A and B are shown apart, each in its own frame.
Chain A
Amino acid sequence: KAGVTQTPRYLIKTRGQQVTLSCSPISGHRSVSWYQQTPGQGLQFLFEYFSETQRNKGNFPGRFSGRQFSNSRSEMNVSTLELGDSALYLCASSRTVVAPSNTGELFFGEGSRLTVL
């Protein structure tokens, strides 16, 4: 079956612009999480959506937002881009809640690499 699909794969923006990234989860998966990966920082949790509701949010400023649609597809938006927003943005899907049931895993897409100039 098709994996997690993220678009676009690469994009370049300038400071002050805004960007929207898209994620299509694996069919049947209702949970979509977003992570930011930067050198030396590993993967930092942005937010998670389950059945169109934001369930968890990481420690990122309000410029980072997201939403999930009824078909489980998700988008994240970053407004007023800063140089420090340059990163690989990874989307992960899961059929259900991994914790506290402690089973299963997150399935990651290939990411969207954002460069802010």
Chain B
Amino acid sequence: DQQVKQNSPSLSVQEGRISILNCDYTNSMFDYFLWYKKYPAEGPTFLISISSIKDKNEDGRFTVFLNKSAKHLSLHIVPSQPGDSAVYFCAASGDTGNQFYFGTGTSLTVIP
């Protein structure tokens, strides 16, 4: 029962263009969302978060959008850089402490 879904296993984008990674969730009790980036042989590293009281959060080149009615969030990376090539995971949590539900990841390739 995958409560958080990333339906695009991979995405390729030209350097300098926008990368848009999508994530859908099914549990309406989720109210906190995180995005992580993972390089091979490394642990996931935190990128950006958003609470359900907001619909947008920005941090430099990274912006996360939350559409609660559609149970959908997206991560925008502008401009995309080759160093952004990695696997991106979205994660969601409700009021259950630090138990997060992760998507299966989207592998982003930024082409120079």
Footprint of B on A, CB under 8 Å? Answer: 4, 31, 33, 35, 40-45, 48, 50, 55-56, 58, 90, 92, 94, 97-100, 102, 105-111
Chain B: minimal CB distance from A113 (Å)? 9
**Cross-chain contact B43 with A99 (CB below 8 angstroms):** no
**Cross-chain contact A42 with B89 (CB below 8 angstroms):** yes
**Cross-chain contact A105 with B49 (CB below 8 angstroms):** yes
Footprint of A on B, CB under 8 Å? Answer: 2, 4, 6, 31-32, 34, 36, 41-46, 49, 51-53, 89, 91, 93-105
A-B contact count (CB 8 A): 86
Q: Which of A41, A58, A90 contacts B99 (CB 8 A)?
A: A58
**Cross-chain contact A106 with B104 (CB below 8 angstroms):** no
**CB-defined contacts of B36 to chain A, threshold 8 Å:** 108
**Cross-chain contact A106 with B100 (CB below 8 angstroms):** yes
| Main secondary structure on B side of the interface with A | loop
**CB-defined contacts of A43 to chain B, threshold 8 Å:** 44, 89, 91, 100, 102
A43-B89, A102-B32, A110-B42 given; A97·B98 CB < 8 A: yes
Chain B: minimal CB distance from A109 (Å)? 5
**Cross-chain contact B102 with A35 (CB below 8 angstroms):** yes
The 6 lowest CB-CB distance pairs between A and B, nearest first, are: A108-B43, A43-B102, A42-B104, A105-B46, A56-B99, A102-B51
**CB-defined contacts of A42 to chain B, threshold 8 Å:** 2, 4, 6, 89, 102-105
**Cross-chain contact B46 with A98 (CB below 8 angstroms):** no
Known: A35-B102, A41-B104, A43-B100. 11 other contacts (CB 8 A): A43-B89, A44-B102, A90-B44, A92-B43, A98-B93, A100-B31, A102-B51, A107-B46, A108-B36, A108-B45, A109-B43
**CB-defined contacts of A90 to chain B, threshold 8 Å:** 43-44
A43 to B103, CA, bound (A): 7
